[in-house]
């Protein structure tokens, strides 16, 4: 008989919560955009449209790369690396 190990629901939920914390949501990005100067907001929107990326990804990349020159997003950001 083959034993099939079922995923631990608590572990799965925790992994999903961690992933959510590792990515900027569209709602959070909108809140950030609304608080930026108009020229910065316009530049972010223009850049997102230019490279066909969601605005939340552009904001996340900007913050992550400021803290870690090698990071593409929050998930791989190690503040201070590459400086």
Instruction: Tally the domains of the chain.
Output: 1
Residue 46 lies in a domain: yes
Does the residue 82 lie in any domain?
Answer: no
Q: Over range 5-29, report the average pLDDT.
A: 67
- Say how many C-beta atoms besides its own lie within 10 A of residue 24's C-beta: 22
Task: Please write the tens of the pLDDT for every residue from 36-63.
Answer: 999 999 999 999 999 999 999 999 999 9
Quick check: 19 pLDDT over 80? no
- Residue 32, domain member (yes or no): yes
Q: Provide the domain limits for residue 39.
A: 23-75
- Indicate if the pLDDT at residue 68 is higher than 80: yes
Neighbours of 29 (CB within 10 A): 19
Residue 47 lies in a domain: yes
- 9 — pLDDT class (breaks 50, 70, 90): low
17 in a structural domain: no
Residue 8 belongs to a domain: no
In a domain, 14, yes or no: no
Regarding pTM above 0.75, the answer is no
pLDDT higher at 35 or 19: 35
CB of 55 closer than 8 Å to CB of 26: yes
């Amino acid at each position: 008989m083959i034993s099939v190990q079922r995923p631990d629901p608590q572990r799965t939920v925790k992994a999903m919560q961690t992933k959510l914390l590792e990515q900027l949501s569209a709602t959070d990005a909108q809140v950030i955009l609304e608080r930026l100067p108009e020229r910065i907001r316009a530049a972010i929107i223009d850049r997102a449209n230019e490279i066909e990326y969601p605005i939340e990804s552009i904001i996340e990349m900007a913050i992550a790369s400021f803290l870690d020159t090698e990071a593409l997003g929050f998930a791989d950001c190690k503040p201070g690396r590459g400086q």
